[in-house]
A and B are shown apart, each in its own frame.
Chain A
Amino acid sequence: MKYLKFIITGIILGIVLVKSEAVSWYRIYEMFHFDAFHMYGIIGSAVFTGILILQIFKFKKIKTIEGEALAIPNKEKGIVRYLIGGSLFGLGWALAGACPGPMYILVGTGVLSMLIVIAGALAGTFVYGLLKNKLPH
């Protein structure tokens, strides 16, 4: 039963991303043409709310459900990996119209051809693992 809360959190995520149309290829295309505020509103209001909640968590020294101190890991310093990796990700995001959350969500909406994108993503992750030590980070 300890996993139930994660399943429920995932269900909320899936419902919100479908009902907000953030999983839609069309919405992503529109975003990259700067034709609508919708996606910027979603990401912007998520980040705005997220900053508020995390500041409250830190200020109030909120503990996790298991009573431990919150650990929100900081990202490692660097520029190259974020810029190059991020750009490659962006190319794929705008082509397939799906990032790693929506990929699964869209399978749930009945788009089975999304499994091919997931197969590609697994291959990409695997190849990164093979090349990791040879790439600039």
Chain B
Amino acid sequence: MDIIFESWPWYISGPLIAMVMSLLIYFGKTFGMSSNLRTFCSMAGAGKKSEFFNFKWQDQKWNLMVVLGAVIGGFIAHFLLTKEIDIQLNPITIEKLESLGFKQIGKNLLPPEIYSWDAVLSLKGILILLIGGFLVGFGTRYAGGCTSGHAITGLSNLQVPSLIAVIGFFVGGLLMTHLILPLLF
């Protein structure tokens, strides 16, 4: 049973993600987590400002239930199925992060340098989170999907647009990781 409490290998996790996608398709839906952001905007009345949010959001309740489940799943995995977080990163990665001034690398899911309240409650800290979120929200709607809709579902369904989108994910991700993050930290 110890194996459950350790981190799960990629060859177990990847197929399980494919199973989640297949289940949703079997239920007559699709695997797309970013659509919920549009639904939340619609629920908050954004339809008055843009046609894009003018749809019957009640039809998307099923996806909001997936979100609810995801939050519960995160809770269960973290508080019940994990004893200690110790992410086995490549030592070279750890060195790179140390040179940017990061500490306690891999001892949390997220770096305290970005997500602890000490970090967040500064102008730089809050801007990092808001701008990061903004780019994800804007980019994913512009591209018509995120990691779940394009990288998993779209590629599994052999969609060329999804391949282009995933190339875009990497263009942006490489730019941020190699050029912008070293300027920020």
Closest-by-CB residue of A relative to B17 is: A46
A51 adjacent to B168 (CB under 8 Å):
no
Closest-by-CB residue of A relative to B37 is: A125
Among A8, A57, A114, contact of B69 (Cβ-Cβ < 8 Å):
A8
CA distance A97 to B63 in the complex (A): 22
B135 adjacent to A91 (CB under 8 Å):
yes
CA distance A36 to B86 in the complex (A): 16
**For the complex, would chain A's binding face be called helix, strand, loop or mixed by DSSP majority?**
helix
B135 adjacent to A74 (CB under 8 Å):
no
One digit per residue, 1 when the CB lies within 8 angstroms of any chain A CB and 0 when it does not, for chain B 120-136 equals: 10000010111111111
Q: Please judge, given known A-B contacts A10-B69, A89-B172, whether A129 and B21 are in contact too, CB under 8 Å.
A: no
CB under 8 Å from chain A, chain B span 103-127:
105-106, 109-111, 114-117, 120, 126
Q: Please judge, given known A-B contacts A49-B14, A90-B175, A100-B36, whether A64 and B27 are in contact too, CB under 8 Å.
A: yes
One digit per residue, 1 when the CB lies within 8 angstroms of any chain B CB and 0 when it does not, for chain A 90-105 equals: 1111111111110111
- Please give, as numbers and ranges, the residues of chain B lying within 8 Å of A65 by CB-CB distance: 26-28
A70 adjacent to B135 (CB under 8 Å):
no
Chain A-chain B contacts (Cβ-Cβ < 8 Å), number: 510
- Please give, as numbers and ranges, the residues of chain A lying within 8 Å of B37 by CB-CB distance: 100, 121-122, 124-125
Closest-by-CB residue of A relative to B42 is: A129
Number of residues from B at the complex interface, CB < 8 A: 126
A50 adjacent to B69 (CB under 8 Å):
no
Q: Please judge, given known A-B contacts A95-B176, A120-B137, whether A30 and B89 are in contact too, CB under 8 Å.
A: yes
CB under 8 Å from chain A, chain B span 15-38:
15-30, 33-34, 36-38
Among B30, B73, B97, B160, contact of A12 (Cβ-Cβ < 8 Å):
B73
Task: Indicate whether A61 reaches chain B with its CB closer than 8 angstroms.
Answer: no
CA distance A64 to B87 in the complex (A): 39
One digit per residue, 1 when the CB lies within 8 angstroms of any chain A CB and 0 when it does not, for chain B 83-109 equals: 000010110110011000000011001
- Please give, as numbers and ranges, the residues of chain A lying within 8 Å of B139 by CB-CB distance: 85-92, 124
Among B63, B65, B131, contact of A95 (Cβ-Cβ < 8 Å):
B131
Binding site for B on A (CB under 8 A): 3, 5-33, 35-39, 41-51, 53-54, 57, 62, 64-66, 68, 70-79, 81-101, 103-111, 113-114, 116-130, 132, 135
16 contacts between A and B (CB under 8 A): A10-B72, A12-B20, A13-B20, A14-B73, A17-B70, A23-B74, A25-B110, A42-B13, A43-B151, A49-B19, A85-B140, A93-B173, A96-B136, A100-B36, A110-B75, A129-B50
